[in-house]
A and B are shown apart, each in its own frame.
Chain A
Amino acid sequence: MHIMIDLYLTFTKIGAMMFGGGYAMLPILQREIVDNKKWSTADQLADYYAVGQCTPGVIAVNTATFIGSQQAGIAGGIAATLGVVTIPTVLILIIAAFLSSFMDSVIVAHAFNGIRACVTALILASVIKLFKGSVKDWPTRIIYIAVLALAAAGNFLAAPERLTRLWNIITSPVFLVIISGMSGLIIRSVQRSVKGGRE
């Protein structure tokens, strides 16, 4: 199959299975992109997610653009992006036509309580894989714990009254991703100079 068609169809399929937002896409991506298609490694997927979180736009779409363009340049990026939004767009257009009856359906509500529990478990399995691939030594353990603490605090705790602006900045994904990238740069150069000094 032509790579463009393959990219478009693969991401159309992924888009159709993406229940519960960008993070729910991770288990599906690990299966489709890493295991089946071998378009990226698990580590590269983590890289794309990191970039997708600190650039504008929807994480799921950003990750699709990234993988597509790594496979087949600009056209590949466009093909993957169009693929991932196709089914959600069509579905919403259908639902928009009879919105209230869909939302009021008790069966839909029950089904989604089940799906949410399932998605929680699937994301947990993906996070464990990611953790093993990316947190391997003391510096990365410290980065992991610090970022998790700040991000979780931002999600779960109310901002302190006087420091709302500062709080919002230091708990935002953009800030955390940028600081972690800079930390990586500093840690690696310190490690290199220590090694160089010894030799």
Chain B
Amino acid sequence: MTDKYDAIVVGAGHNGLVCSALLAKAGMNVLVLEANAQVGGAAVTREFTEGYSTSACAHLLYQLQPEVRKELKLSPQLATEDMSTIALAESGQHLRITADSVEGVSDEDAEQYRRFRKRMTRFADLLRTYLNKRPPRLGTKNFKDMLTLAQLGFDIRRLGKEEMQEFLRLIGMNMHDEVTERFESPLLKGAISLDSVLGTHLGPRSPNTIMTYLYRQAGDHGRVAVPQGGMGSVSEELAHAARGAGATIRTSMPVKRIVIDNGRVTGVETEGGEVFSSYTVISNADPKRTVMELVGAKHVETGFGRRIHHLRARGNAAKLHLALDGLPTIEGLNKKDFGERIVIAGDEHYVERAFNPAKYGECSSEPVVEMTFPSFRDESLAPTGKHVMSAVVQYAPYNLKAGWDDAAREAFKQTVIKTIAKYAPDIEQRISASELLTPADIEREFHITGGHWHHAELTLDQFLFVRPVNGAAQYALPVDGLFLCGAGAHPGGGVSGAAGRNAARTILRREKAA
């Protein structure tokens, strides 16, 4: 046994860092243990080939909660912000969405889009309030829980009769129906569909995709930015804040298990055999890994273990990184457009068709792609005159029927490059090095079960009161002193810091009560 800490955080992902920084600020003696050599978890910048770096998983910043920024006095340096989204058309007649306006569509569509955004923004704001709260428990006599529930009811009512009706109707609906009801432009329908399914195992026809869209907007209203130096710089800033508040962060310290004695947490043991003791352990790891591997089934009860076992976390998003000798040529784009967010999602059917094979454990033959060229505004990422492309690609199912191996990975990489080449015919000549991270790779490298963006599928049956599962939705796991603070907990993934902050607040409230 070595030092005794007030709290140990397992994993220095952005949520773990937010949580530890807030706990340390409150005067707790916090130790953070990170398996990888860098802090940040899936929000890191790393060199994928000599001289070329990019954000390894998450590559855009759009959800960092203002509460987190304020409380930790963060001011991430942005290479670019308020990025437009350009949806590519094979014809070169691309569509451009900037904030709430859209170019390249009929006036009617543009007006509809403005209205659509107005409503979605309003609902996203409502949702956002609850992303930053601990979900209430149902059916208990806890005053705070009842208050939160009453407030939720009140907030929905306060939307006004008509908007309340719309909210209750839309929250379980699919994006496909909403976009086909509203819009004509295929590209617009495709781009919105893409935003509603990124990071999930859903297609635009799947009910629930309005909710996932709203979730995405529930940060900066869908305003997208790229941090200077990649996502790793956000993590570094968070780590800096945590250290500044007195937390100790130790990297390359993979945790082997969470030590439990007589039903209560007493510390953690690292792979290296070191034991750190604390009566409070907070796991930034995903719920499955936390419960099944770090804790062990024998320390939880069967029903709970079974729920964790059934937790759906099948990642579908792959990450493509290209080292480019120069920018590719895309007909209809100006050079400065390479600083924007460029998507390939022909129309809502295209996105749905890309999803189809994922249901059967196969990769999309025509994937949807979200591309950025981060080096365009940030010279630190590539040698002068050269560029880096970073793309999120769907769908590449974690549980590929044939299994992921080098050949399968290479084949999908070629599929993606071919898809991009339809719009950027010279891209293949420009590639000097490339890397594709499948969900299986993401699982291995970032220790996220299923390589899932949200650590657990973001659907209504795994949301709010039941995220990740019944009995753990208030951050505390059913082992005394053990908590979750990662994306698998409420509200979910994305670089928002909400889960980490909510967890920290829950722990501090308990400390105060004790």
A binds B: no
